Structure 1
Amino acid sequence: MRIALTLTAVAAAVGLLTACTTLPTDTEPQALRSFEPQVVEQTDLGPQPGQEPDLLLRDFYTASAHPVQDYQSARSFLTTETEEQWNPSESILVVDRIDLITQPGSTSERRSFNVRGSVVGRIATGGSYEPENGVYEATVEMVRENGQWRISALPAGVVLERTELRNQFQPQRLFFAAPSGNVLISDRRWIYSGHQALDTALITLMMEGPSPTLAPAVNDLLPPEATFAGVVDGAYNFTGLADADDEARRLFAAQLVWTLAVANVPEPYAVLADGVPLSAEYEQLTTDDFAEFNPLVNTSRTVPLYALTDGVVSRVASNQVAPVDGELGSLRDIESVDITSTGSVAAVRKEGTGPDSSVLMSGTLEEGLREALRAETMSRPTFEVDPQNQWVVVDGETVVRVVYSGPSGEFTRSEVDSSEIDGLEGDISVLRLSRSGARVAMIIDGRVHVGVVNRVGPADKRIVNVRELAPQLGGTALSLDWQPDGSLIVGTSTPETPVWRIEQDGSAVTSLPSGNITAPVVAVAAAPSMIYLTDANAVLQLPTTGGDNVFWREVSGLQGVRSAPVVAY
């Protein structure tokens, strides 16, 4: 594991960084840059004199959300003996809320509480969030010590209410290179808000590598001995990169620059590798140097919108609907379609009934379409980063990857290894690849599942680390799509809450305004500045920005028409 040499205070303030990201125990700390210690201003989180035991216990859980100095504030609620024994680093559970119930047998000197909560997730090493669905239950013992109530027995680990996670921690994004080397993949982490050295915390985490969930989908660029050696005279210093070739250095620089820039760390960045500039071309690095990797969304960019209506694909622009040119516009039996911003097309036609009645047509708007695959049923196709490659679900259970070879003009087909979902009941009704191609979202029997895409070989892909998100939706999910920021928008059959937003890591599930939506929501699509859906009546839209919009508006040109929106992003 790569070592990240950081200031002791920095490592303590991160809180969520465990043994992998602190100073080695056999090394003396060294100040790598001159600085003035910055103190996090906060109210007194310790116990109040004469505080009742139930109130004191609640304040303990609030203080547990502050990991500064090895949870010093939370430890002040414990007896002297318990403070020495308590191990907060064992686990960090996130619960919906904490309920306290006094157990029988309490006295004026001793009190026992049953602590319960619905587990919604946990914070893993490095600050990654892992959704869970279960029940937390523990017994906490309290005694009077020197006339004050203190906690005398409690389980190891930290328990946070979800509101405290949101109040005291901020989600940040690390970036890692895809195996293809042409795109960056985000890895969401939660970092304590009181951290005063965000840049070094992010670099420390980046050097430790991707989260275990994402690891199979990204490329390991650096030698094992690569080390972050801190900041000297304003420059980020790294060692152990002598054996890294120019391409690895370029991709590492892109990861570093965009990780810092997205976190609003001011550019330019001076970066040294083994005492010399990381890039021979630039003494200082900026986002302009790696603009082709830009993971940020340009909300002012115009994204083409198409509509599939009664088997016909049309272009929606300037408040008007116009037929699509070429072969795609002439077809009248299209069941589903996906279109890229560069004009690549994958469409499923329905030709009657039977074992080969669904036909995948692939090509471009300009050059036309060719038959790529036949099956009895097929899901809506979805593209990889390379638009020559697309995925479909055949007969509700088999994920097939179709690749077009330009030189030969032929399509090759291979089954994607989806054995991790074999144990899940129900068909795959929807499958969508993320814009980076690293993640896949599926609706299986009305439930939302996500996984990551592992490149087994040049032509072989595998879906791994599958987990369910938003179990509270039950089996009501009907449609989903990735939003440009990496979150999911999900349409359901529930009249009260027909549309939801799910964060990339599953840490939050938020219902969107239902206003004038009439369930079911059978199609959704996301553009940088607009969300589209098809409800029981028409195609509706809602800006992603613009304040407290409650009502969805019909799309100009599609008023009174029930179509499926298709965003060519």
Structure 2
Amino acid sequence: MMPARRPLAVFSCVALIALAGCSTLPNNTDPQVIGTFEPHDRADDAVVEPRTDSEPDLLVRDFYSAVAIPTGNYAAARTFLSTDIANSWDPTDTVLVVDSIDLVTSNMEDGDLEYSVRGNIIGRLANGGAYVPDNSRIEATVRLRQFNGQWRITDLPTGAVIERTELRNRYRPQSLYFFDTTQRLLVADRRWLYSGKESIASELVTLLLQGPSSDIAPATSTLIPKDATFLGINDGVYEFSGMAGMTQEERLKFAAQLVWTLNNAEITNSVRATIDGSPLVDGMEEMTIDDFAEFNPEVAAQAVPKLYAVNDGSLLEVKGEGSTEVQGMAGQIHDIQSADVSDEGMVAAVRKRSEKESQLAMGELGHELKDSVKGETLARPTFEVGGQVAWTVVDGKHVVRVTRSPATGELSTAEVDTSALENVEGEISVIRLSLTGARIAMIIDGSIYTGVVARATSGERRIVNVHQVGPELAGSALSVEWQTDGALLVGTSASSSPVWRIEQDGSSATTLPTGNITAPVVAVASSPSTLYVTDAHALLQLPAGGSERSYWREVEGLQGVRSSPIIAR
């Protein structure tokens, strides 16, 4: 008997009375909660110093605009402060992202003016530009006084508050790449970097040496020595020291991290790098992504995956203009509630045995399926990389891994440690592992949560670093799946906004074209080229990147049939 998991709770920073009441890790980064990043050129790009004879409320607003400029240790923002605090103010102690800032006059006394600063916290900016979702409130006090007829801020809490609209125009997301714990796959670590710099190449490489962000770190491995140093870029060559003790294999893998990071940031597609004057990798003075194709973090985006569907208890393969039942036992049974299919040709299916019992069956397509874990309810299974291990949720409480022996086909079951969820109330209805297996998405009582998959041993897994993302969807989410770029595709019960996209780090939640979709959207799937949803009537598809005027069309071979889509991955 598996031990009962304690009730789950919303992860958020406690409501604040003072800004310092919610701690975050320091540094400059940016998220945005509505909309995606678009470079924005403005003639009056930023207020870099106080306006002459500015009204006090406008001066405070200009100050928060200047806080979005981190260069020179926030030199622009410091010009709005009185001499007494200009040097002592520490904006890196806490960096909060709010939807907007509200100012209310709270007190006037002896020439001093106080404003209450309020806003909804939507995220925190962690070390190295990592975005940490949040969902709480801030209320802080800012005090001003006139000096020679000009208002200046004389008192404010430590830390910085940044409006998302300012950050949206001044920062951009980039991905660093680190190896997973098996050192076979590159995992993306999304960072937000200030876009006002001429080049971000050095910043990216410096961050690469510093290692993964604290959130994704439990799912990654470290190859780089602690005393490794990036010396800079000299005549186009990336120079390093402190790596002499690395093996050739370790150098090769670090080179893969470096090349894929710089290539996908559109900095360079050809990299020259040295350690103490010698090539980073022997015999490779100039490196491109072709030299590290086996570590391609976007390999799934370049593949043409197979489309399957569950319809009326049967597992179908969809080809061209038709659909047929799959070969083997999976095509002969007709009590399938949900299923997942791997690139390696493995299938995991939840069968409805009776009104109060479901059972997981697993095996190779075209062959026998073996029975495994039972429960009153089982969540749709999701495969780890390699297709030999599937996860499901028993009765909304117990997350389990079902492992298949490639030699014998026998199945074994182990429970996943979900203690990180003990403060989140509700049952888990959906779980989906990311393409690398490093992350997990969950629906708990209609809200979306993401976490990181940590492994203590080859057979033990823990879900850690859990955050609620897309709070706009709270209570309405029904289905979720990872897209090939790391974002989440979410189906909801909301008629006005039935389909959403949530960025990998939770920094943005945007609605997708509604077109002719009729809520509820009970199933979703995503390939590199196409999005799939099952609404109240049918299985529909839309080209990835479709415009607001795009209409979802029925999938050929399944017209008029309400089926649940499955993309083999």
Q: Name the TM-score, length of structure 1 as normaliser.
A: 0.89
Partner of 2:23: none
Q: Indicate how the Cα distance of structure 1 residues 477 and 90 shifts in structure 2: closer, same or farther if over 3 A, else same.
A: same
Deviation, structure 1 residue 114: 1.2
Match of 1:513 in 2: 513
1:399 and 1:426 map into 2 onto residues whose CA distance is 14
Give per-residue Cα distances to partners, 1:418-461, cap 9 Å, x unaligned: 12113322221101100000011111122211111111002111
Q: CA deviation at 1:463?
A: 0.9
User: How big is each residue's C-alpha offset from its partner over 1:105-155, in whole Å with a ceiling of 9 and x where there is no partner?
Assistant: 368x54221111111111011111111111111111112212222212111
- Residue range with higher mean Cα deviation, 227-236 or 152-161: 227-236
**Counterpart-to-counterpart distance in 1, 2:566 and 2:254:** 35
Alignment of 1:291-440 (within 5 A): 291-296=293-298, 301-354=303-356, 357-440=357-440
| Aligned-partner Cα distance in 2 for 1:85–1:158 | 13
Q: Aligned partners of 1:414 and 1:300: how far apart in 2?
A: 33
The 3-state SS of whatever aligns with 1:249 is helix
2:176 corresponds, among 174, 177, 192, to 174
Contact 2:301–2:484 (Cα < 8 Å) also in 1? no
The CA distance in 1 between the partners of 2:44 and 2:71, in whole Å, is: 12
Is 1:300–1:529's contact at 8 Å kept on the other side of the alignment? Answer: no
Root-mean-square deviation (CA), in Å?
2.0
2:145 pairs, out of 135, 143, 146, with 143
Q: For 1:85 and 1:124, how far apart are their aligned partners in 2?
A: 21
The offset of 1:368, in angstroms, is 4.0
Structure 1 residue 489 corresponds to structure 2 residue 489: yes
Tell me the equivalent position of 2:22: none
Closer/same/farther in 2, CA of residues 384 and 298 from structure 1, 3 Å limit: closer
Matched residue, 2:33: none
| 1:52 corresponds to 2:26 | no
Structure 2 counterpart SS, 1:322: strand
Q: Residues 113 and 143 of structure 2 are in contact (CA less than 8 Å); yes or no, is this contact kept in structure 1?
A: yes
> Would the aligned equivalents of 2:512 and 2:548 in 1 still touch at CA under 8 Å?
no
Q: Which residue of 2 aligns with 1:465?
A: 465
Tell me, yes or no, if the aligned pair for 2:301 and 2:485 is still in contact at 8 Å.
Answer: no
- Match of 1:59, SS? helix
Per-residue deviation, residues 516-564 of structure 1 (Å, max 9, x unmatched): 2221111111111111111111111222224333432222222221110
Residue matched to 1:34: none
Task: State the percentage of identical aligned residues.
Answer: 49
Which residue pairs with 1:129 in the alignment?
131
State the Cα deviation string for residues 5-50 of structure 1 (Å, max 9, x = none). Answer: xxxxxxxxx9629xxxxxxxxxxxxxxxxxxxxxx99555211112
1:77 aligned to 50, 65, 80, which one?
Answer: 80
* Range moving further from structure 2, 376-385 or 417-426: 417-426
Match of residue 16 from structure 1: 28
Report Cα offsets for 1:367-406 as digits up to 9, x if no partner: 4423343333311111111211111112221111111122
Quote the offset at 1:204 in angstroms. Answer: 0.7
Q: Which residue of 1 aligns with 2:16?
A: none
Write the distance in 1 (CA, Å) between the matches of 2:279 and 2:302.
35
d(CA) in 2 for partners of 1:15, 1:433: 29
User: 2:141, 2:156 within 8 Å by CA — same for their partners in 1?
Assistant: yes
CA–CA separation in structure 1 for the residues paired with 2:151 and 2:421: 50
Which AA in structure 2 matches 1:93? Answer: L
Distance of 2:173 and 2:156 partners within structure 1: 29
Name the structure 2 match of 1:455. 455
What is the TM-score of this pair, normalised by structure 2?
0.89
User: Of 251, 254, 258, which aligns to 2:253?
Assistant: 251
Q: Which amino acid aligns with 2:56?
A: P
1:537 aligns with 2:517: no
In 2, Cα distance between equivalents of 1:344 and 1:272? 43
Determine if contact 1:221/1:248 at 8 Å carries over to the other structure: yes
Distance in 2, Cα, partners of 1:282 & 1:41: 46
Amino acid at match of 1:92: V
Tell me if 1:102 matches 2:105: yes
Question: 2: distance between equivalents of 1:132 and 1:246?
Answer: 42
Say if 1:15 and 1:192, in contact at 8 Å, map to a contact too: no
What corresponds to 1:3 in structure 2?
none
Paired with 2:348 and 2:307, the residues of 1 have a C-alpha distance of 15
State the alpha-carbon separation in 2 of the partners of residues 352 and 438 from structure 1. Answer: 35
SS in 2 for 1:556: coil
- How much does 1:301 deviate? 4.2
1:160 aligns to what SS in structure 2? Answer: strand
Kept in 2: contact 1:297–1:528 (CA 8 A): no
C-alpha distance in 2, partners of 1:41/1:175? 35
Moved more, 386-395 or 427-436: 386-395
**Would the alpha carbon gap of residues 283 and 41 (structure 1) be closer, same or farther in structure 2, given more than 3 Å must change?**
farther
Contact 2:360/2:374 (<8 A) preserved: yes
Q: Which moved more, 1:91-100 or 1:79-88?
A: 79-88
Larger mean CA deviation between 491-500 and 402-411 belongs to 402-411
Amino acid at match of 2:79: S
1:560 and 1:409 mapped to 2: Cα distance? 37
Partner SS for 2:138: strand
* 76-85 or 540-549: bigger deviation: 540-549
Q: Deviations over 1:61-94 (max 9, x none)?
A: 1111001111111111112112122111111110
Equivalent in the alignment of 2:40: none
Local SS of the residue matching 2:504? coil
Choose which of 106, 111, 114 in structure 1 pairs with 2:116.
Answer: 114
Distance 1:172 1:384 in 2: 26
Q: Indicate how the Cα distance of structure 1 residues 461 and 280 shifts in structure 2: closer, same or farther if over 3 A, else same.
A: same
> Contact 2:321 / 2:556 at 8 angstroms: preserved in 1?
yes
* 1:196 aligned onto 2:198: yes
Superposition deviation, residue 177 in structure 1: 0.1
Please say if residues 15 and 68 of structure 1, whose CA atoms lie closer than 8 Å, have aligned partners that are also in contact: no
Aligned to 1:269: 271
Residue aligning to 1:28: none
Q: Distance in 2 between matches of 1:299 and 1:438?
A: 17
Q: Any gaps of 5 or more consecutive residues in structure 1?
A: 1-13, 18-39
Which position in structure 1 is the counterpart of 2:230?
228
